[in-house]
Chain A
Amino acid sequence: MTKSIISGAAGILLALSLSLFSHDQGVRNFRFSLGIYDSKMEENEIEETLKLFNRNFASFFNTGGSLAGLNEFPAANMIKRRIFQEINEWSKKNQVIVYDRDVFELESVDLVSPVSAAAVAREVWFLTIQDRETRKSLMSGVKANPIRVRYLMRKEEGTWRVIEYEVFGPDDTIPELQKVRF
């Protein structure tokens, strides 16, 4: 009987140890699974990341595609590609689109896993199209662009990055997040 208990306990211990050490950051993941995780710190980091993202986002457009800050821009390559694709389209017309941020309010942060999160923000941007050379506005006024954005984020090498974002109208309902492995 004692032998059986010992062998059972050894089996459990072996399985738990193997499972723990076979995963990268197993202890962190375990703490996340049990809810004993500093999610406040992660939320603050996510907010700071999004502020940096939006600062860089606007400066890429406003400078007509200056590459300064590209290395620190916390975004996936596909996002960078889309931004510069649009900047190039405006450049071909000798124009720039200027993004002027008015409001950024983080509404919610949903930590899906220790390395992935979805954050929803309410943002208001003022957009103007300007002549690339003279910087004169080519619009009669500015376009107010109130939006809600859902950022899908991933933590890579200890740093949060935006891997995708979805843009909604201010009154649109945001559909449920498909919690696939992102």
Chain B
Amino acid sequence: MLFTLHLMIIVFSLTYYLTERTGLFAVFPPSSQEVLFSMPILSAALLFLLLTLISAVKHFSDIRARGWLLVVTVILLISGLLVSYLTRFSGDVVLTEGQTIFSGQYVPETLYRGRFSTIPDIGITLNKIIPSFNSDGTAVRSLRGEFTVIKKEEENPEEFVLTSGLPRLIGGSWFGMKGYGYSPRYTLKSKEGTILDSSFMFMKLFPYGSEDNFRLLSPLTYYLRYYPDHNGAEPRLALRIVRNKDIVFNGNVTLAEEIAFENSRISFDEVRKWSKLTVRHDMGAFFYMPGLLFACLYCAGMIVRIRRNSHEQK
């Protein structure tokens, strides 16, 4: 009876996970985290844990070392999932070179806060990004970021380096780096030359030819494409200024070149690089990481046993 229930829960969880992730019945497939932290999966996991404990108590004297390894693995993996659901904090923050962020400035759609999670209380400055591109410059091979971290309890800021694909533990949270793009700094002036506004604008302008747009307070939309000094050519921007459906300007501009339109002038004086800093803080990892290790050990043991049995049969 217990075995059939265990089997049903495993099949249910796998089917539910795959159905959700493929988006068979959904408008957009949810992320792995959203599915794992959904009520059906959490309830199934909790039920599975209870059944495993009941089964372990019932057959206490009959269970061998291998069996206990499996029981401990199940307990660790499921408790890890539940603790993670309650304590996990994850969020991405976009940082342009020279920019400092403090906790709370995360991209809303990347933010997950468990009921008992804590937000890492530190400030981080991105000093420099060193990208490495593929041969034609259309994809980033790796990123290296130089940061300064300001912790509340420490007086002196600490320098550290992050490489994409290699997260680092800082102040109890894992920091990683992903994504790459350009942040041009626009300067908007009046016809007479008075600076009205100037700011860096984080834009998805990588790889070359990608277009993004921004708006200020007027009904104008500024569309940009950025072509950096690739193959020795002078960096340039393809700029299009549109007022509702009227194209006011459409052409190429170089850095710092002023474009006059209507009663204003706009220039793009500087382009810096941006990347996304991923911040993860998860108490569940203390459970599911050893759980995964035990699961590997259990599987390795099973493979050894099967091979030994097949040799003995020969």
Interface residues, chain A, with chain B CB atoms under 8 Å away: 3-4, 6-8, 10-12, 14-16, 18-20, 22-23, 26-27, 29-30, 33, 57, 82-83, 85-86, 89, 97, 99, 113-116, 123, 125, 127, 143, 145, 147, 149, 166-169, 172-173, 175, 178, 181
- In the bound assembly, the distance between CA atoms of A27 and B223 in angstroms comes to 39
How close is A94's CB to chain B, nearest CB, in angstroms? 16
Asked, given contacts A3-B4, A12-B12, A15-B15, whether A123 binds B209 with beta carbons under 8 Å apart, the answer is no
- In the bound assembly, the distance between CA atoms of A145 and B243 in angstroms comes to 12
- Cβ contact within 8 Å between B40 and A18: yes
Asked, given contacts A12-B12, A82-B219, A83-B244, whether A169 binds B7 with beta carbons under 8 Å apart, the answer is no
- Cβ contact within 8 Å between B15 and A145: no
Whether a CB of chain A sits under 8 angstroms from the CB of B153 is no
Question: Interface with A: B19-27, B92-100, B280-288, which one?
Answer: B19-27
How close is A157's CB to chain B, nearest CB, in angstroms? 14
- Cβ contact within 8 Å between A7 and B26: no
- In the bound assembly, the distance between CA atoms of A116 and B40 in angstroms comes to 27
| Cβ contacts under 8 Å, A16 to chain B | 15, 19
- In the bound assembly, the distance between CA atoms of A95 and B225 in angstroms comes to 33
Asked, given contacts A18-B40, A147-B247, A169-B240, whether A11 binds B219 with beta carbons under 8 Å apart, the answer is no
- Cβ contact within 8 Å between B27 and A23: yes
- In the bound assembly, the distance between CA atoms of A23 and B16 in angstroms comes to 13
- Cβ contact within 8 Å between A29 and B12: no
Give 10 pairs: A residue, B residue, CB < 8 Å, sorted on A. A3-B4, A4-B3, A8-B7, A11-B12, A15-B12, A16-B19, A19-B16, A19-B25, A29-B23, A33-B25
Whether a CB of chain A sits under 8 angstroms from the CB of B101 is no
- Cβ contact within 8 Å between B19 and A82: no
| The residue from A3, A10, A115, A125 contacting B245, defined by CB atoms under 8 A apart | A125
- In the bound assembly, the distance between CA atoms of A173 and B211 in angstroms comes to 10
Per the CB 8 Å criterion, the residue count for chain B at the interface is 41
- Cβ contact within 8 Å between A89 and B26: no
Asked, given contacts A8-B8, A127-B246, whether A30 binds B15 with beta carbons under 8 Å apart, the answer is no
Interface residues, chain B, with chain A CB atoms under 8 Å away: 3-5, 7-16, 19-20, 22-28, 40, 204, 209-211, 213, 218-219, 221, 223, 225, 240, 242-247, 250
- In the bound assembly, the distance between CA atoms of A30 and B20 in angstroms comes to 11
- Cβ contact within 8 Å between A30 and B24: yes
- In the bound assembly, the distance between CA atoms of A175 and B207 in angstroms comes to 11
With both beta carbons as reference points, the residue of chain B lying nearest to A83 in the complex is identified as B244
B5, B8, B19, most chain A CB atoms within 10 A: B8
- Cβ contact within 8 Å between A12 and B209: no
- In the bound assembly, the distance between CA atoms of A7 and B2 in angstroms comes to 11
How close is A58's CB to chain B, nearest CB, in angstroms? 9
| The residue from B10, B12, B211 contacting A175, defined by CB atoms under 8 A apart | B211
With both beta carbons as reference points, the residue of chain A lying nearest to B23 in the complex is identified as A33
- In the bound assembly, the distance between CA atoms of A135 and B223 in angstroms comes to 33
| Cβ contacts under 8 Å, B12 to chain A | 11-12, 14-15
A86, A123, A127, A173, most chain B CB atoms within 10 A: A86
- Cβ contact within 8 Å between B245 and A147: yes
Asked, given contacts A23-B26, A86-B219, whether A11 binds B9 with beta carbons under 8 Å apart, the answer is yes
| Cβ contacts under 8 Å, B26 to chain A | 23, 26, 29
| The residue from A12, A18, A30 contacting B11, defined by CB atoms under 8 A apart | A12
| The residue from B7, B15, B25, B240 contacting A7, defined by CB atoms under 8 A apart | B7
- In the bound assembly, the distance between CA atoms of A127 and B4 in angstroms comes to 73
With both beta carbons as reference points, the residue of chain B lying nearest to A84 in the complex is identified as B219
With both beta carbons as reference points, the residue of chain B lying nearest to A24 in the complex is identified as B27
B28, B242, B244, B250, most chain A CB atoms within 10 A: B244
How close is A118's CB to chain B, nearest CB, in angstroms? 14
- Cβ contact within 8 Å between B25 and A30: yes
With both beta carbons as reference points, the residue of chain B lying nearest to A25 in the complex is identified as B27
| Cβ contacts under 8 Å, B13 to chain A | 15
With both beta carbons as reference points, the residue of chain B lying nearest to A167 in the complex is identified as B242
- Cβ contact within 8 Å between B19 and A145: no
- In the bound assembly, the distance between CA atoms of A113 and B28 in angstroms comes to 7
Asked, given contacts A10-B8, A30-B25, A178-B204, whether A167 binds B16 with beta carbons under 8 Å apart, the answer is no
- Cβ contact within 8 Å between A145 and B247: yes
